[in-house]
Amino acid sequence: LWQEDEGLFMDYNFITKQSSAYKYCSAYYPLWAGLTTIEQAAHLQANLPLFERPGGLSMSTTPSGLQWDEPYGWAPCNWIVAEGLRTYGYLDDARRIAAAFVSTVDENFLSDGTLREKYNVVTKDAEVHVTAGYKENGIGFGWTNAIYLKMQELLNPNSP
């Protein structure tokens, strides 16, 4: 699934025997799982700007209107990337991603007193305008709550 020319792991269509050209945040899952080489990790780190937005990591680079695309960021994916980067020694990048996502959660909590399922990481708010798929933005979502705490640990200067 590794695409050297892209520096990303990409989906593969086993029927057409072709790799997808779709850039998606799941490219970092092998990093989190500890399955990448040092060279692949360096390429993934260099490709962070593809997904980084003011409020965290966008799920993809494609604004399709679907909930799993640009401009939406989900806590689990932000954590998987941050933790994978930390594991491979990219602590500054991991903390930058954590800080961006935590600030989005904080700002929205101060605004409406809730933690949400997903956030618009481009505008740093909880406003979602999904045109297809699950259109709600759940309140008090467990994975956001847990990952917010894990990111706070990562942001602690005494954290390894």
- What is the per-residue pLDDT across 116-130, written as a single tens digit (0 to 9) for each? 999 999 999 998 888
User: Is the model's pLDDT at 67 over the cut of 80?
Assistant: yes
What is the predicted pLDDT for the residue at 160?
63
Three-class HEC string of 58-121 = CCECCCCCECCCCCEEEHHHHHHHHHHHHHCCCHHHHHHHHHHHHHHHHHHHHHHCCCECEEEC
Give the pTM. 0.93
> What percentage of the chain reaches a pLDDT higher than 70?
99
Q: Region 107-112: what's the mean pLDDT?
A: 95
Q: Are strands 52-53 and 8-9 parallel, antiparallel or unpaired?
A: unpaired
Q: Region 77-85: what's the mean pLDDT?
A: 97
CA angle 153, 77, 79 (to 5 degrees): 10
CB 28 within 8 A of CB 78: no
